[in-house]
Structures are given as structure tokens and as C-alpha cells.
């Protein structure tokens, strides 16, 4: 009986203070893979609370060059946690966020990260199937102009034919030599 009461108190405390959120499986995975160059969480159903844990790990990680968070219910909030942390990361080169629920609001954090001088290592970004619209076209054009980003995948989003044509033309006008998937 006493164990159940303690467990109930712990659960109640956790619900009252979301900063105490723990995902033991994810924490073990992060701990076990700290020195590996890639972290593949593809189809692991990472949520926004999990993103706080991943962001904390990525902020100071000096070995990770690939992070795959595809096919999860990550929203703009989770993307914000990650992008804020990646401002302090100096090793990540490829970020895969495809098939998440970021929308233009979440992508805005990615564009800010890629355009800021704080992170100069990311060279590849996959935002396919993330509910982007024509509202993000100007930022994508700015990212292409940096010439640092060599791979941009924004396929299967809500971009209009005109929006895609605008991006194609911007790639030509700016002599973009990276890969752009529309």
C-alpha cells in the first residue's frame, strides 16, 4: 500500500511540474549513443517533451553529425527546443525532420537557425512532409543564398505550383549548386 501511495505522489508531482518529465527509454538511448556520429530516431514517435531531452543532449554534443527525427508527432514547439539548442552545437551537419507536424511556424525556427551565424555546420536539411506552405518561400530562398546548405528537401508539402516555380527560379538566379527537392 505504501509503495502505491509513493508512486501516486510521484505521478501527481510529475503532472503538476512538467519540467520533471522523464522518458527512461530515450534517456538510456541518448546516454548509450553519446559518442556515435549519428542518432537515428526514425519512427520512434518522439514528442515535444522528448525534444527537450534531445535538445539538451545536442546543445553540447561534440560528435554527432547526423540527427534523424523523422516520422514523429513533433510540432513547432519541439522544433523550437531543438533549434535553440543547435545554436550552440558545432558538429551537426545533417538534420532530418521529415514527416512531422512542424508547419510554417516550426520551419521558421529552422530557417532562423540556418540563417544565423550561430550554427555554421549544418549542410543538409530534410523538411519533406512537414506541412509547409508558400509562406516559407522567402526564407527558403534566403537559405539557398547562403551557399552553405547543400541539400534541401521540402517535397510533399503544401507548396503551390507557383511557389515551386519561384523556388526553381531563385535557385537559377542565385546559382544554387546544392540539391533542392520540391
Q: What is the percent of the chain where pLDDT is above 70? A: 89
Q: Is residue 78 part of a domain?
A: yes
- Its domain, for residue 84, covers 23-181
In this prediction, residues 114-119 reach a mean pLDDT of 87
119-146: pLDDT as tens digits: 899 999 999 999 999 999 999 999 999 8
Query: d(Cα 71, Cα 52) in Å, to the nearest integer?
Result: 17
Q: How confident is the model at residue 14 (pLDDT cuts 50, 70, 90)?
A: very low
CATH assignment at residue 37: 3.80.10.10
Residue 39 DSSP SS3:
strand
Q: Is residue 176 part of a domain?
A: yes
Question: What is the model's pTM?
Answer: 0.87
Amino acid at each position: 500500500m505504501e509503495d502505491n501511495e509513493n508512486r501516486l505522489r510521484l505521478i501527481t508531482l510529475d503532472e503538476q511540474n512538467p519540467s520533471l518529465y522523464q522518458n527512461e527509454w530515450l534517456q538510456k538511448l541518448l546516454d548509450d549513443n553519446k559518442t556515435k556520429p549519428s542518432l537515428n530516431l526514425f519512427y520512434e514517435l518522439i514528442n515535444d517533451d522528448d525534444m527537450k531531452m534531445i535538445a539538451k543532449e545536442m546543445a553540447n554534443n561534440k560528435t554527432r553529425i547526423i540527427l534523424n527525427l523523422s516520422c514523429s508527432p513533433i510540432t513547432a514547439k519541439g522544433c523550437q527546443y531543438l533549434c535553440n539548442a543547435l545554436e550552440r552545437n558545432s558538429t551537426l551537419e545533417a538534420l532530418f525532420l521529415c514527416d512531422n507536424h512542424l508547419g510554417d511556424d516550426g520551419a521558421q525556427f529552422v530557417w532562423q537557425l540556418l540563417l544565423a551565424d550561430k550554427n555554421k555546420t549544418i549542410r543538409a536539411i530534410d523538411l519533406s512532409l512537414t506541412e509547409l506552405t508558400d509562406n516559407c518561400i522567402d526564407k527558403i530562398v534566403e537559405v539557398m543564398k547562403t551557399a552553405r546548405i547543400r541539400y534541401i528537401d521540402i517535397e510533399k508539402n503544401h507548396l503551390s505550383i507557383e511557389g515551386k516555380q519561384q523556388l526553381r527560379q531563385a535557385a537559377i538566379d542565385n546559382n544554387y549548386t546544392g540539391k533542392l527537392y520540391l
